[in-house]
Amino acid sequence: MFHQVAQPLHYAEALLQRFSALARATQGDSLLGGLVEAAAQLSDCELSQLYLLDDSHTRLTLCAEWFDGQQLPREVASLPSDYDGEHLLQYCLCQNQVLSLSELDHSLHQTGFLPEAPRPWRSLLCIPLLNEQQQVNGLLLTASQQPRDIQGFAGSLGHLGNFVIAQLHLLQRLRAPQREARSVQAEPRPNLSGYGLTGDSPRMRSVYQLIGKVLHNPVSVLLTGETGTGKELVARAIHDFGLRRSQAFVVQNCASLPENLLESELFGYRKGAFTGAERDRKGLFDAAHGGTLFLDEIGDMPLSLQAKLLRVLQEGEVRPLGSTDTHKVDVRIVAATHRDLRALVEEGRFREDLFYRLSHFPIELPPLRERDQDILRLARHFADKASAFLQRDACRWSDRTLEQLASYAFPGNVRELKGLVERAVLLCEGDELLPEHFNLRQDSGAEDSSLNLRERMERVERNLLLDCLRKNRGNQSQAARVLGLPRRTLLYRMERLSISPADV
């Protein structure tokens, strides 16, 4: 055994010998086993464990363990470990911080990941390990049954563990067939899962990469994009594949309630706060404590409530209506909007400080027209789900139907596609989906070559106005501001181009 402080020269020589031995390892098992053996012996600890994250960063697995002078067999050491309840491991992973405890208190710390021993574990060192992209890829842990300060080994063992991670990835690439290596290079590993979402287009792969960055980080997320692009599905994916997945996922649409009702819904109230408040009631922040609160259409939140939301984000405190006291809440905020928040800030309709607080990590969801590769895959997915719900056999697709769907612009995005497909499955009396089963807007099709220049210009103008009105949910005043027109002029053009509320 080597003591780093008492024998620095001997320790350095032993460390170099371990680096040299691990560099010669040609098998993954011997590489990982050699790391835990080296970590235990260099730190003079009875236990050493190596945990690695899977590709989706949702599962932590005990891959190698050295205990009481021997390496445990693979069938014992490779048992999966769901780290949702292991707060010490969570801390190291999420904060990317070394954890050192010289007096391990089992009444305060959860230590279910440590094996049973004749004597209680008294000291612990847990080190995050990084891959080539400097992302946390696993944990190296040592523990002793003696109360000791072993933090001094963190630097050298961390370098040794990072070296082994790099060697392991190198071995995997060298042993993989060339076609698999090309596939891994073309499609980053987090994209293979999709986090429960459907789509493999380049734009969606970029979204998957961004989702993977925030799964195990507590930052607030702002989802932007047109209406119908699936912002709530992405928010749920961030929750379901993150550390808070075992806690509540609470949804509130900020545009669906008047200001006074939305405030009481979010923050709760005390008995007597207003007429009808006959008892205390907890708000959605309390309901989402420990979990995630998804605030949809955040751009429609009144300014007075924006100030209270900012306090929750900054201080983690909530004050219910009718109360003078605040209390702490632990809630992750995922907000979404189809509006341009920066423009709202310039107009004085959205707080600038809240905008910068929410936009620490924005994720823009692409419209369906920019996901050409995903349209038919989504259509088949929705058709299969609708058929299963109706307890009927899956429908076949005619070539003409697929061609029409692939060339349609889908101004309503994925939500519109879902509605169209579900309606078509209901209308289909045979076993084949035909073009007549789909109610596609004709104004999105190709231009008629028989139209003269004026008629073509009117068609372009009509499509532009319709698109702007749909993005603003039929709000004519807002659409006029976006287009830079007086509202009266917009109404005149809508009448001249035969645009009715039903078209919007």
What percent of the chain has pLDDT above 70? 87
Judge whether 159 and 52 are in contact, CB under 8 Å.
Answer: no
Residue 1 has pLDDT above 50, yes or no: no
Q: Say what the pLDDT of residue 234 is.
A: 95
Write the CATH number of the domain with boundaries 370-444.
Answer: 1.10.8.60
Residue 446 has pLDDT above 70, yes or no: no
Residue 188 has pLDDT above 80, yes or no: no
pTM for this entry: 0.55
- Which two structure tokens, joined as six digits, stand for 132? 């080539």
Query: By C-alpha distance, which of 186, 199, 135 is closest to 165?
Result: 135
pLDDT, one tens digit per residue, over 87-109 is 788 778 777 789 998 888 777 77
Query: By C-alpha distance, which of 236, 231, 233, 356 is closest to 306?
Result: 356
- Which residues make Cβ contacts (< 8 Å) with residue 63, sequence separation at least 6? 32, 50, 51, 52, 77, 78, 138
Segments making up each domain of the chain, as ranges:
8-175, 189-364, 370-444, 453-496
Choose the CATH number for 189-364 among 3.90.180.10, 1.10.3090.10, 3.40.50.300, 1.10.150.570. Answer: 3.40.50.300
- Mean pLDDT calculated for residue range 155-181: 78
Residue 420 has pLDDT above 90, yes or no: yes
Q: Say what the pLDDT of residue 47 is.
A: 93
Cα first-last separation, the chain: 76
- Mean pLDDT calculated for residue range 38-43: 93
Residue 178 has pLDDT above 70, yes or no: no
- Mean pLDDT calculated for residue range 162-171: 87
Q: Say what the pLDDT of residue 497 is.
A: 84
Does the structural domain 453-496 have CATH classification 1.10.10.60? yes
Give the SS3 label for residue 44: coil
Residue 169 CA to residue 55 CA, distance in Å, equals: 12
Residue 251 has pLDDT above 90, yes or no: yes
Q: Say what the pLDDT of residue 115 is.
A: 86
Residue 127 CA to residue 18 CA, distance in Å, equals: 18
Q: Say what the pLDDT of residue 61 is.
A: 82
Give the SS3 label for residue 144: strand
Give the SS3 label for residue 327: strand
- Which two structure tokens, joined as six digits, stand for 387? 């058929």
pLDDT, one tens digit per residue, over 233-242 is 999 999 988 8
- Higher-pLDDT residue of 188 and 374 is 374
- Mean pLDDT calculated for residue range 388-399: 88
- Least confident among 82-96, 148-162, 315-329, 457-471: 82-96
Residue 474 CA to residue 466 CA, distance in Å, equals: 9
Q: Say what the pLDDT of residue 58 is.
A: 60
178's enclosing H/E stretch is helix 178-186
Residue 266 has pLDDT above 90, yes or no: yes
Going by their DSSP bridges, the two strands 362-364 and 221-224 should be labelled as parallel
- Higher-pLDDT residue of 370 and 84 is 370
Q: Which one of 118-132, 200-214, 284-298 scores highest in mean pLDDT? A: 284-298
- Least confident among 31-35, 57-61, 136-140: 57-61
On the 0-12 / 13-18 / 19+ scale of CB atoms within 10 A, 317 is middle
- Higher-pLDDT residue of 54 and 448 is 54
Query: By C-alpha distance, which of 221, 241, 211 is closest to 293?
Result: 221
Q: Say what the pLDDT of residue 182 is.
A: 42
Residue 385 has pLDDT above 60, yes or no: yes
Residue 206 CA to residue 370 CA, distance in Å, equals: 13
Class of domain 8-175: alpha beta
pLDDT, one tens digit per residue, over 122-161 is 999 999 998 776 778 889 999 999 998 899 999 999 999 9
Residue 203 has pLDDT above 50, yes or no: yes
Q: Say what the pLDDT of residue 183 is.
A: 41
What percent of the chain has pLDDT above 90? 38
Judge whether 122 and 144 are in contact, CB under 8 Å.
Answer: yes
Q: Which one of 258-262, 422-426, 470-474 scores highest in mean pLDDT? A: 422-426
Q: Say what the pLDDT of residue 57 is.
A: 62
- Name the average pLDDT for the chain: 83
Residue 364 has pLDDT above 70, yes or no: yes
Residue 44 has pLDDT above 70, yes or no: yes
Q: How many residues does the chain have?
A: 504
